[in-house]
Chains A and B, each alone.
Chain A
Amino acid sequence: MFIPCLTIAVFLLGELPASAYVDPGTGSLLYQTALTVVLGLGLVFRRVRGSVVDFVKRLGGRQSSSGSVDTQQH
């Protein structure tokens, strides 16, 4: 759900009015770019989720039950 929600947010919230502290014409794509990078974070997080889970488990002193997903092919 995270990624579809973010995608919708990018398109619905991307067009922001120029604020007084931003020059008109400056940063018109910046907000949208920032939002899509968050979307990219979601994509990356999906891939490293296993590593993070393993890391947290190791911190808790539990054995990892699976290998890292970092090496999976894209």
Chain B
Amino acid sequence: MARRTLVSLWLGFALAALFFYPLAAALASNLYYLQWQTADMAEAVAAWLVLALVFAGILFVVWPRPTRSAAAILVLVAALPLASLAAGVARELPYDDVMRAAWEHRLLRLAVPAILAAAFALAFLLRPEAFGRWIRRSLVLVSPVSLVVAGAFVTAAPQGSTLVAFERAEPAAGPGSGCSPVLALLFDELSFSYVYTGGAIAPEFPSLRRFGASATHYLTVSAPGRETLSAVPSLLAARRVEGMRVENDRLMEVADGTLRPFDAATRDGLFAAARDRGFRSEMGGYYLAYCELLAGLVDACRSRSFYNVNVRGDRFSPLDPVLTTLVLWPRQFPFGLLKNRAFAIHQRDLVEELSAFARRPFGGGRPVFRLVHFSVPHLPFVFDAGGYDPPLNPLQTSPDAPYVRQLRYVDRMIGELLEDLRRQGLYDDTTVVVLADHGYRFGGRERDPLHIPFLVKTAGQQARAEIVAPRAGEALLKDVIAEACASGQAIASAQ
């Protein structure tokens, strides 16, 4: 009995560990992107314990039984952890791009799982005892991998929490700069080619059209980078960043062929400029660890990981690491069947939380400069004009219909955010910017993903204007801050 208990506990522990293999791999090599918290670790350990006990209980009952039903239960119990191990290993292989390309072939994608399923079914039906025996051996074979998973968790534990949120109290008497508040809405992968038709905003985006009727359209703005990883740091530093890499849990800049730590807190940077002009600065966004990057420069911050799921906000939830593990699975069939749902929920939560950040009251002290980096219309494509409505495959990039549907939701979101400002009586006196980090990178109607939309409504602006002179997005956003002070002071003197 003691041996049976020990074997069940070990294999239960191992199966739970195998399920978390993708998370362990991310903790070992991509900790930066997870924006990992001590609370996340506690949730993961709790989830691991619960799963281990459940698996151990089932194994205790079925392990010694040489019956066909016991073998079937073993397969069912082991399927998810083994699939998760396979998913994690597949992502770690150095030639996973080749595998991904090969897996795009429908024949291979369907034939391999079908052959495996058929082989399992035949073995199960024709040689049930041998089948059960080899299932048990296979579980014993992979069970030591749990030591690797445990090792990755133990190694990540002392690294502490990434700073993901803070709020500094407003001083009793601000400097009073006379600048108008600035709300910059940065939409990830918002494409100029899709938003504009013949120099005007397409009719399918009514909120943007309404906003654009009294805004300045910068029609030739170059993206600050080819991808978010370099584009957003370019915006923060207000200069073109050549390239970015994440090395040893730090954001590193490629400059003159060498790597150096990226510093967004320079005097020439966006938020330093905002602070110099007397703004209270606020940053909310996903993907990069903004609060770490801008800790000394912003007064309020919220950053979220694109991979680390947090379904119940700051409340303790062992479900979070389970969903995070699924998000870390490959998108390809059959892994996508479970990943897609978890990723869709995460996308919905990201948008809700960042929208709430964008809607925060401005407060009565210094004028606010607030930059919000939204995770839409970037995939996963889970929204349409009606709201959250994820399709079966929210990661489908071609054809581009899901992207277009999510663009309509972005239009609706912009309308709601601006309506909120109007209700508060703040719209007219606020500078509102709508911009993108880069365009749609998957073809479709996109003509140039480095050509981004950039609309600015300054305080008091009533008429539409167009500027066709080429501008660089990262420099233009910084200029908007100066313009906000000029227009704010003009309004103040007119009053």
Contacts and interface: CB of A to CB of B under 8 A. Distances in A.
Interface of A: 7, 10-11, 14, 21-30, 32-33, 36-37, 39-41, 43-44, 47-48, 70-71, 73-74
B143 interface: yes
Interface string B1-26: 00110010000000000000100110
A28 B28 contact: yes
B29 interface: yes
A14 B144 contact: no
Contacts of A14: 148, 151
B145 A36 contact: yes
B140 A43 contact: yes
Nearest to B25: A29
A29 B21 CA distance: 9
Given A73-B4, A74-B136, A27 B144 contact: no
B94 A21 contact: yes
Contacts of A70: 133
A71 B64 CA distance: 9
A74 B2 CA distance: 11
Contacts of B30: 25
B29 A28 contact: yes
A32 B155 CA distance: 14
Contacts of A24: 29, 247
Nearest to B247: A24
Contacts of B63: 73-74
Contacts of B136: 74
Contacts of B88: 29
A32 B94 contact: no
Contacts of A73: 4, 63-64
Contacts of B479: none
Interface of B: 3-4, 7, 21, 24-25, 28-30, 63-64, 66, 88-89, 92-94, 96, 133, 136-137, 140-145, 147-148, 151-152, 246-247
Q: Which of B7, B141, B151 has the most CB of A within 10 A?
A: B141
A22 B94 contact: yes
A9 to B, nearest CB: 12
B133 A36 contact: no
B92 A36 contact: no
A37 B142 contact: yes
Contacts of B93: 26-27, 30
A56 B96 CA distance: 40
Contact of A33 (B7, B94, B140, B145): B145
A39 B66 CA distance: 26
B484 to A, nearest CB: 40
B140 A74 contact: yes
A57 to B, nearest CB: 20
Contacts of B141: 37, 40-41, 43-44
A26 B89 CA distance: 10
Contacts of A25: 29-30, 246
Contacts of A11: 151
Contact of A28 (B21, B89, B92, B144): B92
A27 B92 contact: yes
30 contacts: A10-B147, A10-B148, A11-B151, A14-B148, A23-B94, A24-B29, A26-B29, A26-B92, A26-B96, A27-B92, A28-B28, A28-B92, A29-B21, A29-B28, A30-B92, A32-B151, A33-B21, A33-B148, A36-B144, A36-B147, A37-B142, A37-B144, A41-B141, A43-B144, A47-B137, A48-B137, A70-B133, A73-B4, A74-B4, A74-B136
A40 B147 contact: no
Of all A-B residue pairs in the complex, the 9 with the closest CB atoms, nearest first, are A25-B29, A36-B144, A40-B141, A39-B144, A32-B148, A28-B29, A73-B64, A74-B7, A40-B144
Contacts of A41: 141
A30 B89 contact: yes
Contact of B152 (A29, A43, A48): A29
B47 to A, nearest CB: 19
A11 B155 CA distance: 12
A52 to B, nearest CB: 13
Nearest to A43: B140
Contacts of B96: 26
B28 A40 contact: no
Nearest to B22: A29
A32 B28 CA distance: 12
A71 B29 CA distance: 41
